[in-house]
A and B are shown apart, each in its own frame.
Chain A
Amino acid sequence: MTAKREAARPRDLWASAAFFLAALLAGTLPARAEFKLFYPIIDYREIEFEHNGDTTFDRRKSGKSNNQSYTNEVEIGATPFWKVGLEGESAAPSGENLRYEAATLENFFQLTPQGKYWADLGFFAEYSHAASRADADAITFGPMVQKEVPDLFGQDTLHTLNLFFGKEVGRNRSAATPLFFSWQSRVRLHPQFEPGIELFSVVDDIAAPGKFADQQHRIGPMFAGIYPLYRLGNIRYEAGYLFGLTHAAERGAVRWRFEYEIPF
Protein backbone atom coordinates (compact mmCIF):
# COMPACT_ATOMS: atom_id res chain seq x y z
CA MET A 1 0.00 0.00 0.00
CA THR A 2 1.30 3.47 -0.84
CA ALA A 3 0.59 6.44 1.34
CA LYS A 4 0.85 9.73 -0.54
CA ARG A 5 -0.78 11.97 1.97
CA GLU A 6 1.30 14.55 3.77
CA ALA A 7 2.47 13.83 7.30
CA ALA A 8 0.39 15.51 9.97
CA ARG A 9 2.18 18.58 11.33
CA PRO A 10 2.83 18.77 15.07
CA ARG A 11 0.94 22.10 15.28
CA ASP A 12 -2.18 20.47 13.80
CA LEU A 13 -1.83 17.61 16.24
CA TRP A 14 -1.61 19.89 19.27
CA ALA A 15 -4.55 21.92 18.03
CA SER A 16 -6.60 18.72 17.68
CA ALA A 17 -5.52 17.58 21.14
CA ALA A 18 -6.40 20.96 22.67
CA PHE A 19 -9.86 20.90 21.08
CA PHE A 20 -10.45 17.34 22.25
CA LEU A 21 -9.33 18.21 25.78
CA ALA A 22 -11.54 21.28 25.94
CA ALA A 23 -14.56 19.29 24.79
CA LEU A 24 -13.72 16.52 27.21
CA LEU A 25 -13.40 18.78 30.23
CA ALA A 26 -16.54 20.67 29.31
CA GLY A 27 -18.40 17.45 29.80
CA THR A 28 -19.87 17.45 26.34
CA LEU A 29 -18.35 14.08 25.58
CA PRO A 30 -19.07 10.83 27.37
CA ALA A 31 -16.58 9.09 29.65
CA ARG A 32 -15.53 6.01 31.63
CA ALA A 33 -16.24 2.47 30.55
CA GLU A 34 -16.42 -0.31 33.07
CA PHE A 35 -15.10 -3.00 30.78
CA LYS A 36 -11.74 -1.80 29.67
CA LEU A 37 -8.48 -3.68 29.35
CA PHE A 38 -5.14 -1.90 29.50
CA TYR A 39 -1.97 -2.93 27.69
CA PRO A 40 1.51 -2.43 29.18
CA ILE A 41 3.26 -1.32 25.98
CA ILE A 42 3.95 2.42 25.61
CA ASP A 43 4.16 3.97 22.18
CA TYR A 44 6.66 6.75 22.76
CA ARG A 45 5.96 10.02 20.90
CA GLU A 46 2.49 8.94 19.99
CA ILE A 47 -0.76 10.73 20.72
CA GLU A 48 -3.92 8.65 21.04
CA PHE A 49 -7.59 9.61 21.01
CA GLU A 50 -9.72 6.87 22.47
CA HIS A 51 -13.39 6.19 22.98
CA ASN A 52 -14.74 3.35 25.13
CA GLY A 53 -18.33 2.42 25.72
CA ASP A 54 -20.52 -0.31 27.10
CA THR A 55 -24.15 -1.03 27.77
CA THR A 56 -25.75 -3.84 29.74
CA PHE A 57 -28.75 -6.13 29.19
CA ASP A 58 -30.91 -7.77 31.81
CA ARG A 59 -34.56 -8.13 32.81
CA ARG A 60 -36.46 -4.87 32.91
CA LYS A 61 -36.69 -3.42 36.42
CA SER A 62 -33.77 -5.55 37.57
CA GLY A 63 -31.69 -2.39 37.87
CA LYS A 64 -29.01 -4.08 35.80
CA SER A 65 -30.39 -3.35 32.35
CA ASN A 66 -29.32 -0.49 30.09
CA ASN A 67 -26.49 0.66 32.31
CA GLN A 68 -24.39 2.75 29.98
CA SER A 69 -20.85 3.93 30.48
CA TYR A 70 -18.60 5.94 28.19
CA THR A 71 -15.12 7.41 28.23
CA ASN A 72 -13.28 9.73 25.90
CA GLU A 73 -9.62 10.14 26.38
CA VAL A 74 -6.44 11.63 25.03
CA GLU A 75 -3.15 9.89 25.82
CA ILE A 76 0.43 10.85 25.06
CA GLY A 77 3.51 8.62 25.10
CA ALA A 78 5.63 11.20 26.88
CA THR A 79 8.71 9.01 27.39
CA PRO A 80 9.64 5.47 26.21
CA PHE A 81 8.30 4.13 29.51
CA TRP A 82 5.52 6.56 30.56
CA LYS A 83 2.21 7.41 28.96
CA VAL A 84 -0.17 9.90 30.50
CA GLY A 85 -3.84 10.27 29.69
CA LEU A 86 -6.73 12.55 30.56
CA GLU A 87 -10.16 11.02 30.43
CA GLY A 88 -13.69 12.26 30.71
CA GLU A 89 -16.19 9.77 32.10
CA SER A 90 -19.95 9.69 31.87
CA ALA A 91 -22.57 7.10 32.65
CA ALA A 92 -26.28 6.50 32.57
CA PRO A 93 -27.34 4.09 35.31
CA SER A 94 -30.42 2.02 34.58
CA GLY A 95 -33.42 4.31 34.10
CA GLU A 96 -31.43 7.53 34.40
CA ASN A 97 -30.13 10.09 31.97
CA LEU A 98 -26.53 10.24 30.86
CA ARG A 99 -24.47 12.40 33.17
CA TYR A 100 -20.89 13.50 33.42
CA GLU A 101 -19.26 11.52 36.22
CA ALA A 102 -15.56 12.18 36.55
CA ALA A 103 -12.32 13.44 35.08
CA THR A 104 -9.48 10.97 35.37
CA LEU A 105 -5.73 11.30 35.10
CA GLU A 106 -4.23 8.01 33.94
CA ASN A 107 -0.61 6.93 34.07
CA PHE A 108 0.87 3.91 32.31
CA PHE A 109 4.39 2.75 33.10
CA GLN A 110 6.12 0.20 30.90
CA LEU A 111 8.50 -1.69 33.16
CA THR A 112 10.12 -4.10 30.70
CA PRO A 113 11.07 -3.81 27.00
CA GLN A 114 8.44 -5.45 24.80
CA GLY A 115 9.32 -9.07 24.07
CA LYS A 116 12.58 -9.12 26.04
CA TYR A 117 11.47 -11.19 29.01
CA TRP A 118 9.06 -14.05 29.55
CA ALA A 119 6.24 -11.51 29.83
CA ASP A 120 5.85 -7.77 29.32
CA LEU A 121 5.17 -5.93 32.53
CA GLY A 122 3.61 -2.55 33.20
CA PHE A 123 2.01 -0.62 36.04
CA PHE A 124 -1.14 1.45 35.89
CA ALA A 125 -2.22 4.23 38.25
CA GLU A 126 -5.10 6.66 37.89
CA TYR A 127 -6.74 9.37 39.95
CA SER A 128 -10.40 9.95 39.28
CA HIS A 129 -11.99 13.22 40.39
CA ALA A 130 -15.74 12.82 40.82
CA ALA A 131 -18.00 15.42 39.21
CA SER A 132 -20.55 15.19 42.02
CA ARG A 133 -19.73 16.28 45.57
CA ALA A 134 -21.77 13.33 46.75
CA ASP A 135 -19.25 10.94 45.19
CA ALA A 136 -15.75 10.26 46.43
CA ASP A 137 -12.61 10.62 44.36
CA ALA A 138 -10.81 7.36 43.72
CA ILE A 139 -7.42 5.95 42.91
CA THR A 140 -6.96 2.73 40.98
CA PHE A 141 -3.64 1.02 40.51
CA GLY A 142 -2.05 -2.30 39.73
CA PRO A 143 0.04 -4.37 37.37
CA MET A 144 -0.54 -5.06 33.70
CA VAL A 145 1.00 -8.22 32.29
CA GLN A 146 1.11 -9.26 28.66
CA LYS A 147 2.48 -12.42 27.08
CA GLU A 148 2.90 -13.20 23.40
CA VAL A 149 2.72 -16.93 22.77
CA PRO A 150 3.72 -17.70 19.19
CA ASP A 151 2.59 -20.84 17.40
CA LEU A 152 0.08 -22.03 20.01
CA PHE A 153 -1.77 -24.80 18.20
CA GLY A 154 -0.45 -23.28 14.97
CA GLN A 155 -1.52 -19.69 15.73
CA ASP A 156 0.23 -16.71 17.31
CA THR A 157 -1.62 -15.52 20.39
CA LEU A 158 -1.60 -12.57 22.77
CA HIS A 159 -2.61 -12.78 26.44
CA THR A 160 -3.16 -9.77 28.70
CA LEU A 161 -3.99 -9.52 32.37
CA ASN A 162 -4.86 -6.52 34.57
CA LEU A 163 -5.05 -6.83 38.34
CA PHE A 164 -6.11 -3.48 39.77
CA PHE A 165 -6.98 -2.33 43.24
CA GLY A 166 -9.16 0.65 44.02
CA LYS A 167 -9.38 3.02 46.95
CA GLU A 168 -11.70 5.93 47.47
CA VAL A 169 -10.19 9.09 48.89
CA GLY A 170 -11.45 12.38 50.29
CA ARG A 171 -14.97 13.14 51.42
CA ASN A 172 -17.65 10.42 51.29
CA ARG A 173 -15.00 7.74 50.85
CA SER A 174 -15.70 4.17 51.82
CA ALA A 175 -13.24 1.82 53.51
CA ALA A 176 -13.60 -0.91 50.86
CA THR A 177 -10.72 -1.99 48.63
CA PRO A 178 -12.22 -3.26 45.39
CA LEU A 179 -10.35 -5.62 43.08
CA PHE A 180 -10.71 -5.40 39.32
CA PHE A 181 -9.47 -8.44 37.43
CA SER A 182 -9.43 -8.44 33.64
CA TRP A 183 -8.01 -11.04 31.30
CA GLN A 184 -8.01 -11.36 27.54
CA SER A 185 -6.58 -14.01 25.20
CA ARG A 186 -6.74 -13.48 21.48
CA VAL A 187 -5.57 -15.20 18.33
CA ARG A 188 -3.54 -13.16 15.86
CA LEU A 189 -5.48 -14.46 12.90
CA HIS A 190 -5.15 -11.29 10.83
CA PRO A 191 -4.12 -7.75 11.84
CA GLN A 192 -7.60 -6.50 11.04
CA PHE A 193 -9.37 -9.34 12.87
CA GLU A 194 -8.01 -10.95 16.01
CA PRO A 195 -10.74 -12.94 17.77
CA GLY A 196 -10.48 -13.89 21.39
CA ILE A 197 -12.10 -14.36 24.75
CA GLU A 198 -12.05 -12.07 27.77
CA LEU A 199 -13.06 -12.02 31.39
CA PHE A 200 -13.95 -9.03 33.57
CA SER A 201 -14.37 -9.50 37.32
CA VAL A 202 -15.03 -7.12 40.19
CA VAL A 203 -14.80 -7.95 43.87
CA ASP A 204 -16.27 -5.02 45.77
CA ASP A 205 -14.01 -5.41 48.79
CA ILE A 206 -11.10 -7.82 49.01
CA ALA A 207 -11.28 -7.68 52.81
CA ALA A 208 -14.83 -9.09 52.59
CA PRO A 209 -15.09 -10.79 49.20
CA GLY A 210 -18.36 -12.54 50.05
CA LYS A 211 -19.77 -15.43 48.09
CA PHE A 212 -18.84 -16.02 44.46
CA ALA A 213 -22.42 -15.17 43.46
CA ASP A 214 -22.09 -11.76 45.09
CA GLN A 215 -19.05 -10.92 43.00
CA GLN A 216 -19.30 -9.66 39.44
CA HIS A 217 -17.83 -12.06 36.89
CA ARG A 218 -18.37 -11.83 33.15
CA ILE A 219 -16.88 -13.72 30.23
CA GLY A 220 -17.37 -13.56 26.50
CA PRO A 221 -16.03 -13.37 22.95
CA MET A 222 -14.28 -10.33 21.54
CA PHE A 223 -12.32 -9.21 18.54
CA ALA A 224 -9.68 -6.57 17.99
CA GLY A 225 -7.94 -5.12 14.99
CA ILE A 226 -5.71 -2.43 13.61
CA TYR A 227 -6.06 -0.51 10.37
CA PRO A 228 -2.86 1.26 9.33
CA LEU A 229 -3.06 4.74 7.83
CA TYR A 230 0.72 4.98 7.57
CA ARG A 231 1.73 8.68 7.82
CA LEU A 232 -1.65 9.41 9.31
CA GLY A 233 -1.24 6.85 12.09
CA ASN A 234 -3.40 3.85 12.92
CA ILE A 235 -6.96 3.09 13.83
CA ARG A 236 -7.45 0.40 16.47
CA TYR A 237 -10.74 -1.14 17.45
CA GLU A 238 -12.13 -3.73 19.84
CA ALA A 239 -15.59 -5.05 20.58
CA GLY A 240 -16.97 -7.84 22.68
CA TYR A 241 -20.05 -9.38 24.25
CA LEU A 242 -19.92 -10.42 27.89
CA PHE A 243 -22.13 -13.00 29.57
CA GLY A 244 -22.78 -12.52 33.27
CA LEU A 245 -21.59 -15.52 35.27
CA THR A 246 -22.96 -14.53 38.64
CA HIS A 247 -26.11 -13.08 40.16
CA ALA A 248 -24.38 -9.77 40.84
CA ALA A 249 -23.53 -9.32 37.17
CA GLU A 250 -26.06 -8.46 34.49
CA ARG A 251 -27.05 -11.12 31.96
CA GLY A 252 -25.10 -9.55 29.16
CA ALA A 253 -23.12 -6.52 28.11
CA VAL A 254 -21.67 -5.13 24.92
CA ARG A 255 -18.43 -3.20 25.02
CA TRP A 256 -16.50 -1.38 22.33
CA ARG A 257 -13.38 0.69 21.89
CA PHE A 258 -12.10 2.90 19.10
CA GLU A 259 -8.70 4.49 19.06
CA TYR A 260 -6.88 6.76 16.67
CA GLU A 261 -3.15 7.04 17.21
CA ILE A 262 -0.54 9.07 15.41
CA PRO A 263 3.18 9.48 16.08
CA PHE A 264 4.75 12.92 16.31
Chain B
Amino acid sequence: MMSNQRAVFLGVVMALALAVAPSRAADDPSYTLTIRQHRFEPTELEIPAGKKIALVVKNLDATPEEFESIELHREKVVTGGSEITVYIGPLKPGRYEFFGDFNPDTARGHLIAK
Protein backbone atom coordinates (compact mmCIF):
# COMPACT_ATOMS: atom_id res chain seq x y z
CA MET B 1 0.00 0.00 0.00
CA MET B 2 1.19 3.50 -0.80
CA SER B 3 2.49 5.47 2.18
CA ASN B 4 0.86 8.74 3.22
CA GLN B 5 3.96 10.66 2.19
CA ARG B 6 4.04 9.16 -1.30
CA ALA B 7 0.32 9.71 -1.77
CA VAL B 8 0.63 13.38 -0.81
CA PHE B 9 3.62 13.97 -3.09
CA LEU B 10 1.87 12.23 -5.98
CA GLY B 11 -1.24 14.33 -5.42
CA VAL B 12 0.82 17.51 -5.44
CA VAL B 13 2.57 16.61 -8.69
CA MET B 14 -0.73 15.76 -10.40
CA ALA B 15 -2.34 18.99 -9.21
CA LEU B 16 0.57 21.06 -10.52
CA ALA B 17 0.47 19.32 -13.88
CA LEU B 18 -3.25 20.05 -14.15
CA ALA B 19 -2.70 23.70 -13.25
CA VAL B 20 -0.45 24.44 -16.19
CA ALA B 21 -1.44 21.84 -18.76
CA PRO B 22 -4.62 23.26 -20.33
CA SER B 23 -3.18 26.41 -21.88
CA ARG B 24 -5.07 28.51 -24.37
CA ALA B 25 -2.29 31.08 -24.51
CA ALA B 26 -1.70 30.55 -28.21
CA ASP B 27 -5.25 31.74 -28.91
CA ASP B 28 -5.05 34.92 -26.84
CA PRO B 29 -5.23 38.05 -29.02
CA SER B 30 -2.22 40.33 -28.65
CA TYR B 31 -2.16 44.12 -28.30
CA THR B 32 0.81 46.46 -28.04
CA LEU B 33 1.54 49.50 -25.91
CA THR B 34 4.68 51.54 -26.44
CA ILE B 35 6.49 53.69 -23.90
CA ARG B 36 8.25 56.66 -25.47
CA GLN B 37 9.51 59.72 -23.59
CA HIS B 38 7.78 58.45 -20.43
CA ARG B 39 4.35 58.29 -22.09
CA PHE B 40 2.22 55.38 -23.18
CA GLU B 41 1.22 55.19 -26.85
CA PRO B 42 -1.67 54.91 -27.43
CA THR B 43 -3.10 56.37 -24.25
CA GLU B 44 -6.39 54.55 -24.89
CA LEU B 45 -6.43 51.02 -26.20
CA GLU B 46 -9.60 49.13 -27.10
CA ILE B 47 -9.68 45.44 -26.29
CA PRO B 48 -12.48 42.89 -26.48
CA ALA B 49 -14.50 42.38 -23.29
CA GLY B 50 -14.91 38.84 -22.03
CA LYS B 51 -11.68 37.63 -23.59
CA LYS B 52 -8.21 37.13 -22.22
CA ILE B 53 -5.57 39.18 -24.03
CA ALA B 54 -1.79 39.38 -24.17
CA LEU B 55 -0.64 42.98 -23.76
CA VAL B 56 2.87 43.57 -25.04
CA VAL B 57 4.49 46.63 -23.45
CA LYS B 58 7.55 47.93 -25.35
CA ASN B 59 9.79 50.40 -23.59
CA LEU B 60 11.62 52.53 -26.16
CA ASP B 61 13.14 54.74 -23.48
CA ALA B 62 16.55 54.04 -22.00
CA THR B 63 15.20 54.09 -18.44
CA PRO B 64 13.02 51.44 -16.77
CA GLU B 65 9.30 51.86 -16.28
CA GLU B 66 6.76 49.83 -14.33
CA PHE B 67 3.47 49.06 -16.01
CA GLU B 68 0.97 49.12 -13.18
CA SER B 69 -2.79 48.96 -12.86
CA ILE B 70 -4.51 48.73 -9.52
CA GLU B 71 -7.82 47.95 -11.25
CA LEU B 72 -6.31 45.18 -13.35
CA HIS B 73 -4.19 43.82 -10.48
CA ARG B 74 -1.04 43.93 -12.54
CA GLU B 75 2.40 45.45 -12.00
CA LYS B 76 5.50 44.59 -13.94
CA VAL B 77 8.78 46.40 -14.53
CA VAL B 78 9.95 46.78 -18.13
CA THR B 79 13.60 47.72 -18.34
CA GLY B 80 14.87 50.28 -20.84
CA GLY B 81 14.87 49.07 -24.46
CA SER B 82 13.01 45.85 -23.68
CA GLU B 83 9.45 44.50 -23.71
CA ILE B 84 7.21 42.47 -21.45
CA THR B 85 3.95 40.59 -21.93
CA VAL B 86 1.12 41.06 -19.47
CA TYR B 87 -1.84 38.66 -19.60
CA ILE B 88 -5.11 40.39 -18.75
CA GLY B 89 -8.76 39.40 -18.47
CA PRO B 90 -11.31 38.31 -19.37
CA LEU B 91 -12.62 41.79 -18.47
CA LYS B 92 -16.11 43.16 -18.08
CA PRO B 93 -16.92 46.11 -20.38
CA GLY B 94 -15.44 49.30 -18.93
CA ARG B 95 -12.41 51.60 -18.62
CA TYR B 96 -9.38 50.37 -16.74
CA GLU B 97 -6.63 52.80 -15.79
CA PHE B 98 -2.95 51.95 -16.00
CA PHE B 99 0.11 54.07 -15.27
CA GLY B 100 3.88 54.01 -15.19
CA ASP B 101 5.06 53.82 -11.61
CA PHE B 102 8.25 55.80 -12.28
CA ASN B 103 6.55 58.57 -14.25
CA PRO B 104 2.92 58.67 -13.12
CA ASP B 105 2.50 62.32 -14.14
CA THR B 106 3.02 61.57 -17.82
CA ALA B 107 2.77 57.80 -18.28
CA ARG B 108 -0.96 57.20 -17.97
CA GLY B 109 -3.60 55.53 -20.06
CA HIS B 110 -6.71 53.37 -20.17
CA LEU B 111 -7.68 50.01 -21.52
CA ILE B 112 -11.23 50.15 -22.83
CA ALA B 113 -12.94 46.78 -22.83
CA LYS B 114 -15.90 46.68 -25.28
Q: What is the interface of chain A, defined by CB distance below 8 A to chain B?
A: 2-4, 7, 43-46, 111-119, 121, 142-143, 145, 148, 150-151, 158, 163, 165, 177, 179, 188, 191, 206-209, 226, 228, 230-231, 233-234, 263
Contact = CB atoms under 8 A, between A and B. Distances in A.
Contacts of B8: 165, 179, 206
A177 B74 CA distance: 36
B92 A151 contact: yes
Contacts of A231: 101-102, 104
B101 A263 contact: yes
Nearest to A123: B16
Interface of B: 3-5, 8, 12, 15-16, 18-23, 25, 52, 54, 64, 66, 68, 70-71, 73-77, 79, 85-92, 99, 101-102, 104-105
Given A114-B74, A150-B89, A207 B20 contact: no
B19 A117 contact: yes
16 contacts: A2-B104, A43-B75, A45-B64, A111-B20, A112-B20, A115-B52, A117-B20, A117-B23, A118-B20, A119-B20, A142-B12, A143-B16, A145-B15, A148-B73, A150-B92, A207-B3
A142 B8 CA distance: 11
A3 B75 CA distance: 17
The 7 closest A-B pairs by CB, nearest first: A115-B87, A119-B19, A45-B77, A230-B104, A191-B70, A116-B87, A263-B66
Looking at chain A's contact residues, the main secondary structure is: loop
Given A116-B87, A263-B66, 17 more contacts: A112-B20, A114-B74, A115-B52, A116-B23, A119-B19, A119-B20, A143-B12, A143-B16, A177-B5, A206-B8, A207-B4, A207-B5, A209-B4, A226-B70, A228-B70, A230-B101, A263-B64
A118 B23 contact: yes
A117 B64 CA distance: 27
A117 B76 contact: no
Contact of B25 (A116, A228, A234): A116
A263 B102 contact: yes
A134 to B, nearest CB: 27
